[in-house]
Amino acid sequence: MIEAELKARVHNPEYVMGQLEQKTEGRAEVYQDTYYDYPSESLVAQDKELRVRTIHGPDSTRSVLTYKGTRVDSESGSKPEHETRVDSPEAVHAMLRGLGYVPAIAFQKRCRNYEFRSHGRRLLATLVQVPEIEGTFLEVETMVPEAKDLTAALDAIRSVMGELGVRERDFTTELYTDAVAARRTPDAGATPPG
């Protein structure tokens, strides 16, 4: 499966949230993400990701292990994605370390998720704030079985984002991992990423 996804900086989060709340009720969750790599950083060099995510919701906590392959679309950053729920994140962390992976970066994302159908697709829209990065982001995604389905899915996502007031110039492919790492670098400049 391929995660067809677009991400944008949001200049009026309240407006976007209001539009999304008209579609469905949002779900506030906090993600604790830990990305793993080999000490040689060979996964990031190949544009691949290995992540353990623990999701804290209002009523429950769950964890998932995710592997994302190399981008199949450079404009959107969409990647093949394989994800599975895990009962014991502590065991998965121990297994990954035992296999030679090391935690590359860990950070928190504060999310408000909206699941709805539009343009014939099941979509997930997420308003995201990362405490270490300025601003609010909107991610809209859907899963497609093959690369040939990607263009139509991204067109639908672009339409939805336009309906939410997002402009094309606000789209970004910058990774949160890169932005957080830049913020943690002692000589990081004052210019916000994006």
Q: What's the whole-number mean pLDDT along residues 52-69? A: 97
* pLDDT(98) > 90: yes
pTM over cut 0.85: yes
Please check whether residue 92 is in contact with residue 84, taking contact to mean a CB–CB distance below 8 angstroms: no
How far is Cα 100 from Cα 38, in angstroms, rounded to an integer?
A: 6
Q: What are phi and psi of 176, to 5 degrees?
A: -60, -35
CATH code, residues 2-184: 2.40.320.10
Residue 61: partners with Cβ closer than 8 Å, 6 or more residues away:
54, 55
Q: What's the whole-number mean pLDDT along residues 15-30? A: 97
How far is Cα 115 from Cα 100, in angstroms, rounded to an integer?
A: 36
* pLDDT(193) > 50: no
Return the minimum-mean-pLDDT range out of 26-30, 143-147, 155-159, 186-190. 186-190
- Confidence band of 9 (pLDDT split at 50, 70, 90): very high
Domain ranges of the chain: 2-184
C-alpha distances (whole Å) from 186 to each of 7, 176, 190 are: 27, 18, 11
How far is Cα 136 from Cα 134, in angstroms, rounded to an integer?
A: 7
Q: In terms of Cα–Cα distance, which of 133, 137, 118 is closest to 17?
A: 137
How far is Cα 134 from Cα 193, in angstroms, rounded to an integer?
A: 8
How far is Cα 127 from Cα 7, in angstroms, rounded to an integer?
A: 10
pLDDT of residue 186: 79
